[in-house]
């Protein structure tokens, strides 16, 4: 009797397993549903919950909760519509077992404004899903790489600035909308180098803009200083020197609150130690070049002034010739009247 009971139980378990496998949705549909669940949760403000339950362990090694909150605000805030459509993900499986390894889905907005919205690449979302212990988990590898590179650069920057505390800084940074160019702004500022021996050959600056709630919705990096040569001279920021910069920013969200002060900081500085002797020589060479450029500019201005005077003279002469021609044309009529 016992054997019969065990056989019945075993058959029931096998049957249940067979039925559950039979009715389990295809992996494409399950991935589609998971990706949409992730994006809807982010849209609905469940940012911390997503971090705790849906991100892979590997992603959380790179992203702190603060990094994640800023990332969500910048990438997703105000961009996820009421309904999403996910193209079936590109799936990678283990060759011998067919076990799911990873997948990438491309999701876009649907609805009345969907076609218009999806013309903007920032409103189309790439979501990468991995298999972690038999469960789907979000793992945005490209964004992880970018963030890790930023953190590594920041660590190097902090080490450098520890030696030049208070001597290297950004000042008077402003971000102003560009008139007649929607979504564009002009960021201006000054880099000050009060050190005695740091030749700043490459400088990266990061600007972040916020919405009315104070959330970062836009971040942009740029290089106001690059180690290049212009007219024979290097363009680095020497010790005791400064550099004014202006850089256009584009694709700024309409939610940008201009009353919120921009957040700005160095994110990278590559510098060389320059000796006092080499510094003096570089300063002399640059002063010579500045004078030459100034003289050339003055020469160009003088040449333009002389050219303008010549053009004005030609205009006066042409007007004089025209008046002479008009008087000559009028003479036969005058002589005819006299007769």
Instruction: Give all domains of the chain, ordered by start, each with its CATH number.
Output: 23-144 (3.10.450), 163-274 (2.60.40)
Q: Among 48, 88, 83, which residue's Cα sits nearest to residue 66?
A: 48
CA-CA distance, 305 to 309, in Å (whole number)? 6
DSSP summary character for residue 2: H
pLDDT (tens digit, 9 = 90+) per residue, 36-46?
999 999 999 99
pTM passes above 0.85:
no
Q: How many CB atoms are closer than 10 A to CB 195?
A: 21
CA-CA distance, 191 to 265, in Å (whole number)? 11
Taking 70 as the pLDDT cut, the residues of the chain under it are 1-24, 87-88, 110-122, 229-233, 314, 332-339
CA-CA distance, 53 to 48, in Å (whole number)? 9
pLDDT (tens digit, 9 = 90+) per residue, 172-231?
999 999 988 889 999 999 999 999 999 999 999 999 999 999 999 999 999 998 877 666
CA-CA distance, 34 to 39, in Å (whole number)? 9
Q: What is the pLDDT of residue 29?
A: 87
Q: What is the pLDDT of residue 118?
A: 47
State the DSSP string of 295-328. HHHHHHHHHHHHHHHHHHHHHHHHHHHHHHHHHH
Q: What is the pLDDT of residue 109?
A: 77
Q: Which tokens in the block code for residue 303? A: 């040449």
């Amino acid at each position: 009797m016992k054997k019969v009971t065990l056989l019945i139980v075993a058959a029931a378990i096998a049957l249940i397993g067979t039925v559950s496998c039979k009715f389990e949705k295809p992996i494409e549909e399950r991935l589609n549903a998971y990706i949409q669940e992730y994006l809807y949760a982010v849209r609905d403000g469940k940012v911390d919950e997503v971090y705790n339950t849906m991100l892979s362990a590997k992603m959380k090694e790179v992203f702190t909760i603060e990094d994640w909150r800023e990332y969500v605000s910048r990438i997703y805030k105000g961009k996820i519509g009421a309904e999403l459509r996910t193209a079936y993900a590109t799936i990678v499986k283990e060759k011998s077992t067919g076990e799911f390894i990873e997948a990438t889905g491309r999701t876009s907005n649907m609805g009345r404004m969907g076609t218009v919205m999806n013309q903007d690449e920032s409103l189309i979302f790439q979501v990468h899903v991995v298999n972690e212990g038999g469960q789907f988990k979000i793992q945005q590898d490209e964004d992880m790489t970018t963030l890790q590179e930023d953190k590594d650069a920041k660590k190097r920057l902090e080490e450098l600035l520890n030696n030049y505390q208070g001597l290297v800084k950004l000042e008077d940074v402003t971000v102003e909308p560009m008139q007649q160019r929607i979504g564009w702004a002009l960021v201006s500022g000054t880099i000050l180098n009060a050190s005695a021996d740091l030749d700043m050959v490459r400088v990266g600056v990061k600007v972040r803009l916020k919405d009315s709630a104070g959330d970062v919705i836009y971040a942009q990096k740029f290089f106001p200083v690059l180690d290049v040569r212009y007219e024979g001279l290097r363009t680095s920021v020497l010790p005791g020197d400064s550099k004014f910069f202006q850089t256009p920013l584009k694709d700024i969200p309409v939610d940008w609150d201009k009353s919120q002060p921009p957040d700005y900081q160095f994110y990278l500085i590559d510098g060389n130690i320059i000796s006092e002797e080499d510094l003096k020589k570089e300063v002399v060479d640059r002063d010579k070049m500045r004078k030459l450029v100034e003289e050339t500019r003055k020469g160009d201005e003088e040449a333009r002034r002389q050219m303008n005077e010549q053009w004005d003279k030609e205009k006066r002469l042409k007007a004089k010739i025209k008046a002479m021609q008009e008087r000559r044309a009028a003479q036969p009529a005058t002589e005819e009247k006299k007769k």
